[in-house]
């Protein structure tokens, strides 16, 4: 699969899960926690394929470098917010407001990626290169998902 289609698919899925989480009311605290854990796992895998394959490849192109460096920082902010939410009880009144701040940050990051960053990617790589990057990312995605499952198994 083309690298950009793969990333876009992940973004769309994250947005969908975020919407589901936002619609969980006070009576669905357990469901909220489960959905949130799934979102954290998905984003952990997504950030890995970007930081280990996509960003390093793109960073080699001088006119994309600054944007990529900004994207790393944005991942850091998103991760900090996810950590913070993880420390709050899903039924606590502070949970959803903190989640909303996370959502705004993630949406901003996705917008920048799909906008400027994807534009630069398309001008920096050929279709064949994008397919090749996509294949590498799909392979790492599968590996990272398996690693997460193994970790979860060990913890339970
Ligand atoms: Fe992304
Ligand atoms: Fe990203």
State pLDDT tens for residues 20-76. 999 998 789 999 999 999 999 999 999 999 999 999 999 999 999 999 999 999 999
- Tell me the ligand closest to 74's alpha carbon: 2
What residue ranges do the domains of the chain occupy? Answer: 3-151
Does residue 146 surpass a pLDDT of 90? Answer: yes
The pTM score is 0.95
Query: Ligand 2: distance of its center to the CA of 70 in Å?
Result: 10
* Backbone phi, psi, residue 61, to 5°: -90, 115
d(CA 44, ligand 2 centre) in Å: 10
CB 21 within 8 A of CB 7: no
Whole-number pLDDT of residue 61? 94
User: For residue 51, how far is its CA from the centre of ligand 1 (angstroms)?
Assistant: 10
Spatial separation of the C-alpha atoms in residues 58 and 55, rounded to whole Å: 5
Pick 16 or 1 by higher pLDDT.
16
Residue 140 token pair? 């790492």
Distance CA 19, CA 17 (A): 5
Q: What is the pLDDT of residue 27?
A: 84
State how far the Cα of 78 lies from the Cα of 98, in Å rounded to an integer.
Answer: 11
CA of 113 to the centre of ligand 2 (A): 7
Report the separation in Å between the CA atom of 26 and the middle of ligand 2, taken as the mean of its atom positions: 31
155 band by pLDDT with thresholds 50, 70 and 90: confident
| Å from CA of 144 to ligand 2 middle | 16
- Position 35 scores a pLDDT of 97
Question: pLDDT per residue over 70-108, tens digit each?
Answer: 999 999 999 999 999 999 999 999 999 999 999 999 999
Q: Give the ranges where 88-126 is alpha helix by DSSP (H).
A: 95-112, 118-124
DSSP-assigned letters across all residues of 5-70: HHHHHHHHHHHHHHHHHHT--GGGHHHHHHHHHHHHHHHHHHHHHIIIIIHHHHHTSGGGHHHHHH
Query: What does the pLDDT read at residue 18?
Result: 98
């Amino acid at each position: 699969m083309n690298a950009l289609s793969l990333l876009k698919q992940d973004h769309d899925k994250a947005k969908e899960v975020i919407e589901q989480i936002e619609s969980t009311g006070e009576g669905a605290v357990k469901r909220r926690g489960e959905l949130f854990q799934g979102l954290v796992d998905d984003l952990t895998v997504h950030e890995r394929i970007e930081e280990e394959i996509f960003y390093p490849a793109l960073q080699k192109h001088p006119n994309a470098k600054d944007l990529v460096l900004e994207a790393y920082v944005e991942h850091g902010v998103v991760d900090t917010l996810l950590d913070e939410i993880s420390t709050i009880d899903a039924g606590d009144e502070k949970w959803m407001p903190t989640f909303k701040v996370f959502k705004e940050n993630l949406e901003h990051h996705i917008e920048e990626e799909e906008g400027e960053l994807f534009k630069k990617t398309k001008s920096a790589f050929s279709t064949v290169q994008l397919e090749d990057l996509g294949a590498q990312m799909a392979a790492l995605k599968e590996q990272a998902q398996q690693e997460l499952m193994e970790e979860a198994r060990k913890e339970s």
